[in-house]
Amino acid sequence: MPFKIKFERLGIFYMLALSGIAASIIISQIFIQNFIDRQQNDSRIINIAGRQRMLSQKISKIVLQIREATELSTVKSHRDELQETLQLWSEAHNSLVNGDEAHPLNENNSVVITDMFQKIEPHFVAMVGNAQSIADLIDQMKQVGSKPDLNPFINNILANEGDFLAIMDDIVFQYDREAKAKVEGLKKVEMILLAISLGIILIELIFIFRPIAKNVRKTIASLIISEEASKNMTREINKLYGELEKSYQDLEAVNLEPEQPMIFLKTNDFGKITYVSENFKRLLEYEKEELPENIIQLLERDGYNPEFIKEVMNILTAGKTWNGEIKLTGKSGDFFWLDTSIVPVNNRKENKNELMVIARDMTEIKEAQLRSREINREKIEKRVKEQEYRSVLILEGQEEERKRISREIHDGIGQMLTAMKLNMEAINPSSSVHSRRRFDETKSMLKNVIKEVRRVSFNLTPSSLSDFGIAPAIKKFCNEVEKLSEINIIFDNKSGFINRLDKHIETNVYRIIQEAVNNAVKYSKAENIKVSLEHSSSQLRITIADDGKGFDVKKLKESGHFSASGHGIFNMKERTAFISGNFNLHSEPGNGTQIDLTIPLN
């Protein structure tokens, strides 16, 4: 069954498992929220029940104060306080027993508490009745001297108070015991739901992620086999390229001596032309007044990219010399090549800065080389065309396979892992310290797995390479590796290289830099890694340097370490040879490592 079909089926299983986790979380939250509501209600019930004891004692205290009072105003004041306390006490009692709108407490008392309220009811009724009788009698009083005999009512209140307090204590303690029992029950339910959630996660790991990992390993294994075949093919092509290079050298052995460099132009530091040599006017077939006023306009007229011109002027403004080949077109439409150096100089005599354009005409040599290369080119290229075509197919197949695996990992496994991480964060672990520690460790491991999946996915497919070219792709790669490795990785495009290369050259250059940086991150123990690009008209120079521990290059060469297939440096050399580049490695123990890569641009 194809990997994609398996993945879709596993995705369905995963969604079912995810639904199970979501259901367990929702149920858990429902239980917890309901419990919190009930717990708040239980707290109020216990508080009101405890206050009933205080109010009963307050009623006894007030009636005793009434008996001892000698002034009518004092008796009336105590009577008002008694009536207010009695009303509050009665309402709270009825709320505890039956519940009401004023006090929306739990009406479903347990059987034990209901029996206790039945026992306390006669004492409550007796105390309420006698207290109300005292209040009614006081309302009929006109002066203290005519105060009726309240002692029978007071004695009845005091006689029932003790029994009321004892039973009320039992009721409060029973409420507290039942509240604690609810907490214990919630703990058990929570543990069951947690076990279900963790069980679902375990099932996902065993029956979903494990099969996906096996399929990924199988695909990567086939990719490794394909890469080995590519390496063997690369070695064969290298031999043919060696013969081709020798043939080119024979063909390019033209007996032409290049002209001596001479001053062609002078400009001020803003690029305005102040001097034109006769040789330059002869090549261009223009008079001085027909020339552009500025060297920038001269380059723009011949179709040079504004970005390229801007980078050249930035280099000159910084006081550095620019070297390269320039192709210009004369008045008649013929073009010619100049091997050019633009040098910033200071004219002390006139006290001003100038730009001196020193060049030599390379047109005849270029044309001779092109004619020489055309001789027998078809015969020479035919010897490598078939092998090169097969190698390109293998490399392109590898890149496509990497892209496919990267998409599967990023869009499939990566999304699943992220969803699992969110689910685990939503789970509330038990109060056990050991369980919480294990749960936190599991979440931490999952975060590391997600980070590693993203790193592998990024390394497998550099999408920015095909979209923007080698320089932006390397810059993005350095930024991403810096985030993942926490090592300071610097990218420096010294000459502002922005040109696009052949697809297979860009891919191999990117893979070489990727291998070099990853090796430095893994093995060098460096604090800083720098990737530099610098180019001329004929070649692109790339440097990867680190300040790590370095190693003994000579010793490893003698041991045959670098010639072993599969070694990182061996792979970089093979890829460099495939794109006709030069590879140099410099390293010393304690002094870091530097890799220099030179790629021809012609």
Higher-confidence position of 532 and 268: 532
Considering only the C-alpha atoms of the chain, give the largest distance between any 2 of them, rounded to a whole number of Å: 149
The superfamily CATH assigns to domain 462-602 is Histidine kinase-like ATPase, C-terminal domain (3.30.565.10)
Q: Note the pLDDT of residue 584.
A: 92
Q: Note the pLDDT of residue 17.
A: 66
Q: Note the pLDDT of residue 489.
A: 92
Q: Note the pLDDT of residue 9.
A: 64
Domain ranges of the chain: 3-213, 262-361, 462-602
pTM (global) more than 0.85: no
Q: Note the pLDDT of residue 378.
A: 60
3-class SS at 163? helix
> In terms of Cα–Cα distance, which of 195, 201, 213 is closest to 446?
201
Is the model's pLDDT at 167 over the cut of 80? yes
Least confident of 175-184, 227-236, 508-517: 227-236
User: Using alpha carbons only, how large is the chain's radius of gyration in Å?
Assistant: 46
Higher-confidence position of 539 and 225: 539
Question: What's the token pair of residue 593?
Answer: 């490592």
> What are the pLDDT digits (tens) for 127-146?
888 888 888 888 877 654 56
Higher-confidence position of 180 and 18: 180
Calculate the average pLDDT of the chain: 76
Q: Note the pLDDT of residue 254.
A: 47
Query: Amino acid identity of 369?
Result: Q
Q: Note the pLDDT of residue 598.
A: 93
Least confident of 168-172, 431-435, 475-479: 431-435
DSSP secondary structure, 527-554, as one string:
SEEEEEEEE-SSEEEEEEEE-S----HH
Query: Amino acid identity of 236?
Result: E
Q: Does domain 262-361 have CATH number 3.30.450.20?
A: yes
Least confident of 133-142, 178-187, 361-370, 524-533: 361-370
Higher-confidence position of 98 and 235: 98
Q: Note the pLDDT of residue 460.
A: 64
Please state, in angstroms and rounded to a whole number, the distance separating the CA atoms of residues 596 and 438.
Answer: 48
> In terms of Cα–Cα distance, which of 212, 586, 220 is closest to 398?
220
Please state, in angstroms and rounded to a whole number, the distance separating the CA atoms of residues 456 and 208.
Answer: 20
Please state, in angstroms and rounded to a whole number, the distance separating the CA atoms of residues 222 and 442.
Answer: 32
- The sign of the CA dihedral 38, 41, 45, 47 is positive
